[in-house]
Structure formats: C-alpha cells, structure tokens
C-alpha cells in the first residue's frame, strides 16, 4: 500500500505505537489481501475508518463488484477501527461479518466508511457503509471483533504485520 503514508491517525495513537517500536502504517494497513485488491486507507481512528477499493480487478463473471470484495473492504475497515479501539494491549479478531448488497458497481472506486455501533472491553462492532462514486449505497456490512489481551508470543504476530 504505497499511499499508506497519507493515512490520518490521531496523534495519541501515533505516540502510543511509536513508544512500542511498532510500524503503525504497516500494522493498520489493509494487509496482504487488501493490498492485492487495491484497498487504500485514507483515515483511521477508533470512531471512523475510511478506505477505497477499485472495482476493476475485483469483479465477478457478470462484471459487477464481487460481493466477497465488498466483504474484504468491510472487514478491513472494521478491523482497523476495532484494533484502534482496543489499543496496543489488545488484538482484534473478527468473529462475525454480514453484508447486504444493495446494488452493483461496474467501474470506478468504491468507498467504505466504518463507524462504531458498540465499543466494549471484549468486543467491538462496526457498521461499514460502502458507496460508489455517485454516493449510492452498494453494500451495508456489520463486523464484530473480539478484543483479546496481547499474550506472550503475540509480538511475532504483531511484527509480522509490519
């Protein structure tokens, strides 16, 4: 994700992860799958995560945006929000994702915006609204992540995201 340096993070989040020696941009990126699909994160906080994904290269046989591609964008954005909510002492693990597909998209970029529905100590739930370039809703998704404590050995997991 070459554009990742343009992500807007709250200063307190930048400071928290810098103190731990963690590459914040890599940790809160779209990951390997998101990279292959062209997901770009432009804004990230526990209260709002915004990202885009091209339709081209992410279509099903009829030439429409693949529902699984929408799911990847939704889970990426909701997971980033959950990780930021949990902070550096927690790891967010998706436990439930559902997506309702409202209309097809054939070209351009889709934009996803994740906002919290619930931010607890052990779970976080985000609603993710995906729209096309005409601001028409393509998909509405909901992701719930379990927030578990970082355990010995997780350092490798966290550093492998970098």
- In whole angstroms, how large is the CA radius of gyration of the chain? 15
Catalytic, 75? Answer yes
Question: In whole angstroms, what is the distance from residue 123 CA to residue 9 CA?
Answer: 22
Q: Which residues pair with 111 in a beta bridge?
A: 52, 131
DSSP 51-62: EEEESTTSB-TT
Interacting residues of 21 by C-beta distance below 8 A, sequence separation 6+: none
Residue of 3, 16, 56, 75 marked active site? 75
Residues annotated as catalytic (active site), given as ranges: 75
């Amino acid at each position: 994700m070459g554009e990742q340096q343009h992500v807007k993070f709250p200063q307190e989040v930048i400071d928290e992860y810098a103190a731990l020696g963690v590459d914040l941009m890599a940790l809160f990126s779209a990951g390997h799958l998101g990279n292959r699909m062209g997901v770009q994160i432009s804004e990230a906080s526990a209260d709002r995560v915004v990202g885009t994904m091209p339709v081209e290269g992410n279509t099903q046989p009829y030439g429409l945006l693949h529902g699984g591609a929408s799911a990847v964008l939704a889970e990426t954005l909701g997971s980033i929000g959950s990780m930021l909510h949990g902070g550096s002492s927690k790891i967010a693990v998706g436990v439930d994702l559902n997506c309702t597909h409202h209309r097809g998209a054939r070209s351009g970029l889709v934009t996803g915006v994740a906002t919290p529905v619930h931010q607890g100590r052990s779970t976080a739930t985000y609603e993710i609204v995906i729209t096309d370039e005409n601001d028409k809703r393509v998909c509405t998704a909901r992701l719930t992540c379990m927030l578990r404590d970082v355990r010995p050995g997780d350092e490798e997991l966290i550093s492998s995201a970098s």
